[in-house]
Amino acid sequence: MSLPSSPDRPDGLPERIRHWIGGEFADSADGAVFDVVDPVSNAPYATAAAGGPADIDRAVAAAGAAFPAWSAIGNRERATILNRIADAVEAREDRLSAFESFDSGLPITQARGQARRAAENFRYFADVIVALGEEAYRVGDQQLNYVVRTPTGVAGLITPWNTPFMLESWKLAPALAAGCTLVLKPAEWTPLSATLWAEIFTEAGVPAGVVNIVHGIGEVAGQALVDHPDVPVLSFTGSTDTGRHIMRCSADGLKALSMELGGKSPVVVFADADLDAALDSVVFGVFSLNGERCTAGSRVLVERPVYEEFSRRIAERAERVRVGLPSDPATEVGALVHTEHYARVLEYVEIGQREAKLIAGGSRPAHLPEGNYLQPAVFTDVPRDARIFQEEIFGPVVALAPFDDEDEAIELANATRYGLAAYVWTSDLRRGHRIAHGVASGMVWINSHNVRDLRTPFGGVKDSGVGREGGAHSIDFFSESKIVHVMLGEVHTPRFGVQEK
C-alpha cells in the first residue's frame, strides 16, 4: 500500500496488523481488514485484520487449551515471567512510545510515561501474587476453614483507544498473575502498540496460547468475545452506553464483569486553597493526554470570592498551552485520536457557546492547518443543566461554575450521572474530608492531582462503572474463591431418624 509522508512517522511501522492466536500471527478467517489512520495526516498507514466470530472462536480455543498448564504453575514462577515481561517492555520504551504517540496523537513525553507505567503494572502484580496469602479461620479447636483461590478461566479483555498500551497492561498483568489465560481485543482506532505484545510475551517466555490478540471492530469482534460461552469473565474499559450493552449481553451467561466507564469528574476549589497549586493541577488534569482521560477534572467548581480570578488564570494558561506535533517534546496537547472523535469534541464546543461563555481556545491553532488539533477550551458560568456540564466530552474542554458554600459545592459535584473521580482543594483538611465523604465518586484526591497508588481500588459509582480493580481487588476479580471446612474435633451431628419405634 502507499504510505503517507508524515513528520511524525516512526521507523519500523508495520503495513499489516494481524491477530496473534496460539502463539502465531494470523489473518482473519474471512480475510476482512480495515484501514488504520494516524491523527496527524488522517491518512491510512496500515491495514489491520478485522476479526469476527470465527477468529474469536479460535482464540478462545487456544486460551482454553493453554489454561490447565498456565493455571497450574506456581505463583513464584508466574511472577518471574511477569517481571521478564516488564523487562521487555522497558527495553522497548523508545519504540513503544513512538508507536503510541504516532497512533493516538499523545504528546511523546506523555507516551513515554505510559510506557513506564505499563512495565510497573507487571512488576507490581508480580509482587502481589507472590505476597498474597490465602485466608484461614479457626473455630475454636473444633474446625478449620480455609479459602482456596483459583483462576477463573479464559478472560476477555476489551480495552479503549486512549493510552492503549498502558491500559492493556492494566488488565493483562493481573489476569496473567491470577493464572487466567485470555483474549485481548484492542481498540480499533489505536491497534499499533498492541503489535508489540507478541514479541514481548515470546521474549518473556509466556507459553503459546496464554495470551491471544484479536483485532477488529467492537460491534463485531468485541461482540463475539462478549457472547462467547467459554469466556466467563470480562474486563471492559470504555463508554457507559457500551458498558450497558455488555451487561445486557452477559446476563444469560452470568458472566463476571468489571467495567470502568465514563466520567465527568468535579474539581472543587475553595477560596482558602493554594490557588497556584490548584491551578497547576486543574490545567494538567484536564488537558494532559489531550483531555482524553476518564478521570479528567472537566468540571471546575470554584468558591465565588476567587471565581473570577481563577477563571481568568485558567484562560490565560489554556491560551498558552502548546499544541503541536505529537512527536515534538515541547508539545503539551497533541492531535485528537480520530476524525470522528475530533468532530464530536468540536460539536461540544459549538454547543457550549450556546450554553455558556467561551473565554479561551476552542478552535484550531492557526499554525496547524491539518490534523485533529484543538486549542484547549475554557467555558465559564456554565449552568448545571448544560450539556457541557453533564456529558462526557473526552477532550481538552473544561467547564467552570461558581459555588457559595460547602452544601452547594457537594450538590454541584454530584449533579451528574457520573461518579468516577473528584478533586478537592482547600487548606482546611477537616473540610476536605467532609467534601470527600459527601461527593458520590469512587475516588477522591485532596490537594492533589491524579496520583494513583497501584495498591488501591480503582473504579466508579453511578454511570462510571461496576466493580473495582487494582491491587488485590484485581486478583480477586480474575479468581474464584472456594472455602474448605475441615473438622478437627469429634463430630456432633444431630441424629435424625434413629428414634425407637
Task: Tell me the catalytic residues.
Answer: 260, 294
How are beta strands 24-26 and 19-21 bridged, if at all? antiparallel
- Cα–Cα separations (whole angstroms), residue 315 to 14, 27, 387, 418, 447: 41, 49, 20, 26, 21
Grid coordinates of 381: 458560568
Indicate the residue type of 170.
Answer: W
Note whether 289 and 162 are within 8 A (CB): yes
Amino acid identity for residue 296 in this structure: A
CA distance 309 to 311: 5
Total count of residues recorded for the chain? 501
455's enclosing H/E stretch is: none
Q: Pick from 418, 470, 467, 469: which is nearest to 439 by CA?
A: 418
Residue where the block lists cell 498483568: 173
* Cα–Cα distance for residue pair 216/218, rounded to 1 Å: 6
Per the CB < 8 A criterion, the answer to whether 397 and 387 are in contact is: no
Distances (CA, A) of 185 to 205, 224, 309, 476, 498: 22, 10, 46, 22, 61
C-alpha 432/C-alpha 403 separation (Å) is: 16
Buried b (16+ CB within 10 A) or exposed e, 317-350: bbeebebbbbbbeebbbbbbbbeebbeebbebbe
**How far lies 3's CA from each of 43, 46, 105, 143, 327, in Å?**
8, 8, 18, 70, 18
Burial class (CB in 10 A: 0-12, 13-18, 19+), 440: middle
Sequence-distant (6+) residues with CB within 8 A of 28 are: 19, 49, 50, 51, 52, 54, 55, 216
- 397, 442, 123, 136 alpha-carbon torsion, rounded to 10°: -170
